[in-house]
Amino acid sequence: MALELTILVGTMTGTAQLVAQELELRLDDGETRVHTKLMDGQDASVFDDGGLFLICTSTYGQGDVPDNARQLYDSLGGTRPDLSRVHYGVIALGDRTYMDTFCNGGKRFDALLGELGAQRIGEVFLHDASAGILPEDEAAEWVGGWIALCNQPSGSDAAAKVHPNAAQG
């Protein structure tokens, strides 16, 4: 059974989208099927069927989620759905020169999803734009370990449970 992964992209100037495209290229094979969606126009219903998600988002303002992620973030906070059938990972893009608000966009999503009962797989991946390493390269390296965790018995069982109709691999 294929592992179905939805990448949700929060971005202001396209970096997170570039990262998601690189991950899709790397991960989308017979065993993993990747669906990449910009967060624009999304709300909490994107999680209605449960499943495996990768939140890939930058940080703006004073440690806020980007504008295109606002509706989804507010919808989750406002409706507070039960996300216990959701498994997720987080790629948080930021810049350490912002110090106290470093990668807060991704950290905010992580905190909210956790509060709503979703189960995170692996650690939040933090990218520091001031370090000079391309986020798509660093994230592509990180995601190999992350997808291996998702494919471990507990991870894939969870994904299979919430994707009873997932296509056969």
Ligand X SMILES: Cc1cc2nc3c(=O)[nH]c(=O)nc-3n(C[C@H](O)[C@H](O)[C@H](O)COP(=O)(O)O)c2cc1C
Binding ligand X (rule: CB under 6 A), the pick from 50, 51, 94, 155 is: 94
**Residue 123 CB, nearest approach to ligand X (Å):** 17
Q: Which residue is nearest to ligand X (CB)?
A: 94
Contact code string over 18-57 relative to ligand X, x by CB under 6 A: ----------------------------------------
**Residue 126 CB, nearest approach to ligand X (Å):** 9
Amino acid at 60: Y
Q: Does residue 130 touch ligand X according to CB under 6 A?
A: no
Instruction: Calculate the dihedral angle through the C-alpha atoms of 113, 49, 152, 17, rounding to the nearest 10 degrees.
Output: -60
Q: Which residues are CB-neighbours of 26 under 8 A, at least 6 positions away?
A: 140, 143, 144
Phi and psi at 63, nearest 5°, equal 80, 30
Contact range with ligand X by CB under 6 A, out of 20-28, 72-80, 101-109, 161-169: 101-109
Q: Which residues are CB-neighbours of 97 under 8 A, at least 6 positions away?
A: 130
**Residue 112 CB, nearest approach to ligand X (Å):** 17
Decide: 68 and 87 in contact? Cβ < 8 Å.
Answer: no
Nearest to 5 by CA among 147, 135, 161: 147
Q: Does residue 63 touch ligand X according to CB under 6 A?
A: yes
Cβ-based nearer residue to ligand X, 6 or 11: 11
Q: Does residue 106 touch ligand X according to CB under 6 A?
A: no
Going along the chain, which residue ranges are E strands? 3-10, 32-38, 51-57, 86-94, 119-120, 125-128
**Residue 167 CB, nearest approach to ligand X (Å):** 30
Contact range with ligand X by CB under 6 A, out of 14-22, 32-40, 43-51, 74-82: 14-22
Q: In 3-state terms, what secondary structure has residue 6?
A: strand
- Interface with ligand X by CB under 6 A: which residues? 11-16, 58-60, 62-63, 66, 93-95, 98, 101-104, 129
